[in-house]
Amino acid sequence: MQHDINKKGNTTQMFIDFVRSESFGGIFLAFSTILALIVANSSFGDLYQHFFHTQFGFQFDDHFIGFSIHDWINDVLMAFFFLLVGLEIKREMIFGELNSFSKAAFPAIAAVGGMIVPGLIYYYLNMGTPSAHGFGIPMATDIAFALGVIMVLGSRVPIALKVFLVTLAVVDDLGAIVVIALFYGGDINLFWLMMSGFIILLLIIFNNLGIKSLVVYLIFGVFLWFCVHASGVHATIAAVALAFCIPLKAKYKFSKFEDSINRFSSSYVKGKDDNVLLNSEQLEMIHDIQRVAINAQNPLLRLEHFLQPWSAYFIMPLFAFANAGVNISGNFDFNIDHIFWGIFLGLVVGKPVGVLLATFACEKFGIASRPNSIGWGHILGAGMLAGIGFTMSLFVSALAFDLESSKELSKISILLASLFSCVIGVIFLLFYGKIKK
């Protein structure tokens, strides 16, 4: 009996550990994508399309304030995802793999090469056509998918390669944010752009004044979102700007939290009383510890820790479900300019070639050198996995095209290219690992 209980407990703990693992985010995204494809190609396909195009908001007389459910997901919920991305980039720049030139140069240059070459391939194939604006689609890397795949490979690849790919993906995200800001906004409204700049300036002043309350920053972040949205720049950029304004240092040093714990331990003696209810002194002490515990945490890390599970288990899967539902039985016009080959070749060929050429030039010109445990085959394999554009590519494609036929074609192109990049990347790294051994 006890053995069965222990076995059940171990199984439960193994499941919890798996869900919390870094690889689960990519697996959950894949599941959401497959589910979207199944629903979109079933008898519920029309209901699926109708639901996400349903308008949701508030009606005041003749004025409607709101968006379609699809836009709520892509513009509002995805702002929280970009806020998390911005927080991660800021943390990496201060404490992580981007905090010095020697650490950041090699993967950062790899990321730049992995963006330029795919973008050039797409633009060359579609130059002079209305579809040329989609050059940003194959420039992106899906960090959740790529990291999930490489974590599944486990000990078959060096730890240094995992760090390299994560850093490459972070810089790639930063590059994608810049591309979205520069090329995928609407007509610029200078008044709202100035208002956005004014709010960002206020947030910087708050930071310098030592204001640590996340509530203050998030409230002004909402106003910033509305101003950026009205300015013509894509609203998710507001979330990244907000992330860089979130304070890093905690209000109290950790020693103050330790002092509170020590006071609680010294004043409360076990067995002193058997009352179920706490007295006022004990309640006050617990509230004091809670307050000090919150103020002893870094606001940036606290917000990042809060957003991470929401992003991994709700926002990203919902985005994938809302955007990946392509009717495969539909009559795709693969001859719309060269959208398909631009995206497919950009992700499958352009990514690994760009990453390999950029890192090779980086080492040969003495800018930075690759880690000792990583071979050029590892770099090429990581470049293949970087061709998993998926989430970010889908996001850019929604901004790049106005015609529904172009959007649908770009979606199926992204899905096929990402799947192909994943398969050849895994096979290549496994094969290369055996050769190295």
Of 195, 172, 188, nearest in space to 241 by CA:
195
End-to-end CA separation in angstroms for the chain: 46
Mean pLDDT per 10-residue section of the chain, whose length is 437 residues: 53 48 67 87 87 82 78 86 86 77 84 94 92 90 77 78 83 84 79 92 92 91 91 82 87 68 63 61 73 76 88 86 78 78 95 94 87 87 90 86 86 91 92 80
d(CA 157, CA 151): 9
Which residue carries 């103050």 as its tokens?
A: 256
* Structure tokens that stand for 362 in this block: 């980086």
What is the DSSP secondary structure assignment for residue 73, as one 8-state letter? I
CB burial readout 320-355, b (16+ within 10 A) else e: bbbbbbbbeeeebeeebbbbbebbbbbbbbbbbbbb
3-state secondary structure of 42: coil
3-state secondary structure of 272: coil
- Domain map of the chain by residue range? 71-185+234-249+300-435, 254-295
Q: How far is CA 167 from CA 111, 328, 359, in A?
A: 9, 35, 14
pLDDT value for 112: 93
3-state secondary structure of 66: strand
What is the DSSP secondary structure assignment for residue 72, as one 8-state letter? I
pLDDT value for 15: 42
pLDDT value for 266: 66
Residue 378 carries which side chain, given as an amino acid letter? H
8 Å CB contact between 319 and 73: yes
Decide if domain 71-185+234-249+300-435 falls under CATH 1.20.1530.10.
yes
8 Å CB contact between 232 and 186: yes
CB neighbour class for 110 (10 Å; exposed up to 12, middle 13-18, buried from 19)? buried
Per-residue DSSP letters for 333-352?
A: -TTSTTHHHHHHHIIIIIHH
pLDDT value for 265: 66
pTM here? 0.75
pLDDT value for 18: 41
Q: How many CB atoms lie within 10 A of CB 373?
A: 11
3-state secondary structure of 122: helix
- Count of helices and strands (H, E) across the chain: 20, 2
CB neighbour class for 53 (10 Å; exposed up to 12, middle 13-18, buried from 19)? exposed
Give the helix/strand (H/E) hosting 59: strand 55-60
Name the packing angle between helices 316-323 and 22-40 (round to 10°).
30
